[in-house]
Structure 1
């Protein structure tokens, strides 16, 4: 019996390891390429990402929110940073100046996040994320992430050159077959096998990809360690970029609320104020470290909801094992370098199947909304505006002021802000109505 428990925990931990890896490896590579860093420095970003992500997951599981929810580099932050890199020439900034300004903004946002946690402000903020806001957030996040994964399945590299923006039919055919296999295995297989569908899909797909297309090669480079690898925060700092970073850091709080609220049903209890407080404090500390190490800041991954629903494994021990193993791999360049040869198309195919489950979470929140005319407008406006903005080319926003492009050109960011704004307007409209109702009731009582 003890052997079976150990084997189950080990396999589940290995599955968590691949989930952490596939969600992490692309981010430092694309950020390093966007800043024009040498291969040795990009390898440093990759290894730091592995170590910090693994330790962050273990810390959140045992000291923070105490749930099996991945703590990783935020997709919202990732999009903002890449958008700022693209806009740097029009801002009159060199990439090192941009990196230094971003580092300062990330450090400030990290301190603010720590204060939110320490001062107990997370609970009041959580009230802003009503079912209407969460429904829009979950749906838009699923669309944004699955767009990235579908591009990966098609063989289109994120942050690559024009040659990498071409669909590769052979790559897509194999990736689609892997995605279909994982989906069917998850639905049709016995629970004991279905819970490891993601692991089976990654390992089997990787082997098939190697047989059909050959082994991936990774350019070697001497590791270049150093603080603030994207740019030193000394002189030439841009106040506008710092301001955008602080705003992005505050809106990034939506990931914490989304992840914890999204797993309330899985853990059969609502997250308490203490869980929010500890989670924000740890995320803030990680943001400070991210600014110093040139990494994308951290947040709990809402996509963990889909993973937990897919695998039906919510125990913390396998999650912590996977996190510690991931951190250990980051300390061994040979192993981390080998893992970076995992084909992006295979990882994207498996993650696509996992993140499709976000639709279920979104529909659950939609089901909590009374769909009268006013609520339809309040949910439809941010939903459709966010989706439309996601599909617009970056060139459409060239006429906007440079500092507004990263904000207004991010459909996920605009959708969340619009949903919060419209929901606050609804709350303010309700308060006078409730006051009038109470007054009328008191008058009727006096007349009686």
Structure 2
């Protein structure tokens, strides 16, 4: 029973933390209600399958897969190219669909070549701290805006929505740190459930409308047509794959650190297998015309909050997610989950990430060097977050998508600076 309830909690967390991306992208591409529902179905279905692939043949860690932020950015860029480089939204989506396939093959090739193993050594405590801090800083604004009902420029803060979100936030903190182990273990499930009820009572949640029609609905393959060759997308996929590898390694590194420090578990090194599984997952994303998945660092905060470090609940939750996506009536229930509730619960979870970041920095033996590395990485990464994306509109698409991402650029800068210091130290010894 504990495994089933834990699995339900994983399923709710996975869906709640992932559903915003396909909804936002569907809106950008002008999809109608039916197309949006199918796009959500395909994306969540791929995420559930991706979790199972990682659990059985990949890194074998309780890390949920989510829509890659980098791919999200590329979707935004390509949505702006409709009627300029692509005649219709379908043509742009067809190119993106093909890009997922290219990325999948590149993942597998790079993993088999051994490059993944060499790159793992770059993620030292200093670099991991920089990555975690940039991640939380980048997302904190999104969480807070979602909690107060601000979606775009000009929106006013919704006071009642804020009070409801704040109440959910308090409930999440209370359940996460409750003296009763069963309460802390299922804190996410309890918080989302209680928050949903609260938002229904204050009139800030839509009523559930069950879909009638098909009981079972399987996602379609190649929704936007057969794969096409797009040289621009090929280059973009190459850049994105390299950065997603770095993202994947950081997420695995964070979970490994948590398991060692909090659970005395030393997992085997399966970085190469994780990269191959990520390649397979991207192939699935291409087949089902969905968003490319990536291991989510926030899973470490979830595991730290719920104290569920084993794979059984994670696998159970992934199976539940896959089954849910095949039943339209259940998907329609999750589609009306108040986003502010999801943002409030996720905000609390990500506070664990900040705690982990400082523990990582404390583990660095050479503190002086670590301060210099993280200072530059954080300043550049955060600075980029304040540069409007429109100011990079004249750059090539792939370059604009990368340079506008403070998380990736800040982490890369930290890696370069630390490797420079290490090179100098080795040269001094010689």
Whether TM exceeds 0.5 here: the answer is yes
1:137 pairs, out of 124, 131, 134, with 131
Rounded to whole Å, the distance in 1 between the matches of 2:266 and 2:179 is 31
Q: 1:352 is paired with a residue of what secondary structure?
A: helix
| 2:325 is equivalent to residue 325 of structure 1 | no
1:67 pairs, out of 61, 64, 88, with 61
| 2:294 is equivalent to residue 299 of structure 1 | yes
| 2:262 is equivalent to residue 272 of structure 1 | no
- 8 A Cα contact 2:42 2:219, kept in partner: no
Aligned pairs for 1:111-260 within 5 A: 111-157=105-151, 165-213=155-203, 215-216=205-206, 226-229=220-223, 233-234=227-228, 237=230, 239-260=231-252
Rounded to whole Å, the distance in 2 between the matches of 1:51 and 1:153 is 27
- 8 A Cα contact 1:181 1:201, kept in partner: yes
- 8 A Cα contact 2:168 2:341, kept in partner: yes
Q: For each residue in 1:139-183, what CA deviation from the matched residue of structure 2 results, as whole angstroms up to 9, or x when unmatched?
A: 1111222322222112134xxx667x4432211210111101211
1:442 is aligned to: none
- Shift of the alpha carbon at 1:137? 0.8
| 2:279 is equivalent to residue 281 of structure 1 | no
Rounded to whole Å, the distance in 2 between the matches of 1:51 and 1:431 is 48
| 2:408 is equivalent to residue 413 of structure 1 | yes
Rounded to whole Å, the distance in 2 between the matches of 1:423 and 1:141 is 19
- 8 A Cα contact 1:84 1:406, kept in partner: no
* Structure 1: stretches of 5+ with no match in the other structure: 1-5, 436-448
- Shift of the alpha carbon at 1:93? 7.0
1:388 is aligned to: 383
- 8 A Cα contact 1:259 1:302, kept in partner: yes
> Which stretch of the first structure deviates more once superposed, 74-83 or 358-367?
74-83
> Which stretch of the first structure deviates more once superposed, 350-359 or 80-89?
80-89
* Structure 2: stretches of 5+ with no match in the other structure: none
Q: 1:167 is paired with a residue of what secondary structure?
A: coil
Q: For each residue in 1:400-435, what CA deviation from the matched residue of structure 2 results, as whole angstroms up to 9, or x when unmatched?
A: 555532222221122122222223323332332232
1:371 pairs, out of 367, 388, 409, with 367
Rounded to whole Å, the distance in 2 between the matches of 1:103 and 1:207 is 38
- Shift of the alpha carbon at 1:111? 0.7
Rounded to whole Å, the distance in 2 between the matches of 1:166 and 1:394 is 23
Rounded to whole Å, the distance in 2 between the matches of 1:207 and 1:363 is 35
Rounded to whole Å, the distance in 1 between the matches of 2:76 and 2:130 is 23
- 8 A Cα contact 1:286 1:298, kept in partner: yes
- Shift of the alpha carbon at 1:349? 0.5
Q: 1:294 is paired with a residue of what secondary structure?
A: coil
- Shift of the alpha carbon at 1:375? 4.2
Rounded to whole Å, the distance in 1 between the matches of 2:398 and 2:59 is 35
1:89/1:404 Cα in 2 relative to 1: closer, same or farther (>3 Å)? farther
Matched length: 421
Q: 2:294 is paired with a residue of what secondary structure?
A: strand
1:52/1:419 Cα in 2 relative to 1: closer, same or farther (>3 Å)? same
Rounded to whole Å, the distance in 2 between the matches of 1:403 and 1:63 is 31
- 8 A Cα contact 1:179 1:349, kept in partner: yes
> Which stretch of the first structure deviates more once superposed, 332-341 or 128-137?
128-137
1:225/1:329 Cα in 2 relative to 1: closer, same or farther (>3 Å)? closer
Rounded to whole Å, the distance in 2 between the matches of 1:321 and 1:265 is 24
Greater gyration radius: 1
- 8 A Cα contact 1:50 1:329, kept in partner: no
Rounded to whole Å, the distance in 1 between the matches of 2:410 and 2:75 is 18
- 8 A Cα contact 1:67 1:316, kept in partner: yes
Rounded to whole Å, the distance in 1 between the matches of 2:81 and 2:408 is 17
1:445 is aligned to: none
Rounded to whole Å, the distance in 1 between the matches of 2:156 and 2:104 is 38
Rounded to whole Å, the distance in 2 between the matches of 1:247 and 1:287 is 15
Rounded to whole Å, the distance in 2 between the matches of 1:375 and 1:63 is 35
2:420 is aligned to: 425
- 8 A Cα contact 2:301 2:353, kept in partner: yes
1:426/1:19 Cα in 2 relative to 1: closer, same or farther (>3 Å)? same
Rounded to whole Å, the distance in 2 between the matches of 1:291 and 1:261 is 27
2:100 is aligned to: 106
Q: For each residue in 1:278-315, what CA deviation from the matched residue of structure 2 results, as whole angstroms up to 9, or x when unmatched?
A: 21111101111212322221121111110011011112
Rounded to whole Å, the distance in 1 between the matches of 2:86 and 2:290 is 23
- 8 A Cα contact 2:98 2:228, kept in partner: no
2:38 pairs, out of 38, 44, 50, with 44
- 8 A Cα contact 2:43 2:285, kept in partner: no
Rounded to whole Å, the distance in 2 between the matches of 1:342 and 1:287 is 27
